[in-house]
Amino acid sequence: MAESPSFRVTLEQQQDFEFNLRFDWGGVSDLMLDTGAPLGRSAGPDAERILAGAVGYCLTASLLFCLRKFKQAPGKLRADVIGTLARNERGRLRVGRLDARIHLSDAVADIKHFDRCAQQFEDFCVVSDSVRHGIPIDVEIFDARGQCVYGARSREGDGRG
């Protein structure tokens, strides 16, 4: 049986709630993690922000990969991920949901095969599909005009949503 791919990150406490995060790829800079007040000093992102960044990166990179597979050059992509904290049934603070908004720098009409990529890019995002088992994630894509071209708002009024 083939060995499953794996990866490693190493965390080392620096002081209080500040931890140095080291990656298993040579040449990749370490990252300082911290928590906000009153426990930490916000000297680096906290775990919730790293999670949101990982989800946003994975979704955007997956969309970019698909578009490039169809020989498209969609211009610069941007993603905003809004995390909402909520208390669970035991009163513990948790990431309650993530709302990812991907912004295209072009009009969707100028991107060939966009519809096909929009139908499949989420399925190829390792992180968001893994996280979705415990945290709801809503994904929308907006074109250069600010029109929602993928997600719940893109289906409003067309009988699909």
Phi/psi at 136 (5° precision): -65, 135
Neighbours of 154 (CB within 10 A): 18
Task: For the chain, give the mean pLDDT.
Answer: 93
Residue-wise pLDDT tens digits, 108-120:
999 999 999 999 9
Extract the runs of DSSP E, i.e. beta strands, from 47-92.
Answer: 78-87
Residue-wise pLDDT tens digits, 108-156:
999 999 999 999 999 999 999 999 999 999 999 999 999 999 998 776 6
Residue-wise pLDDT tens digits, 47-63:
999 999 999 999 999 99
Phi/psi at 105 (5° precision): -95, 0
Selected from 3.30.9.10, 3.40.50.970, 3.30.300.20, 3.30.465.10, the CATH number assigned to the domain covering 47-155 reads: 3.30.300.20
Please tell me the predicted confidence (pLDDT) of residue 160.
Answer: 38
In three-state secondary structure terms, 19 is strand
Phi/psi at 98 (5° precision): -130, 135
- Looking at residue 111, the DSSP 8-state letter turns out to be S
Residue-wise pLDDT tens digits, 36-50:
999 999 999 999 999
Task: For the chain, give the percent of residues with pLDDT over 70.
Answer: 94
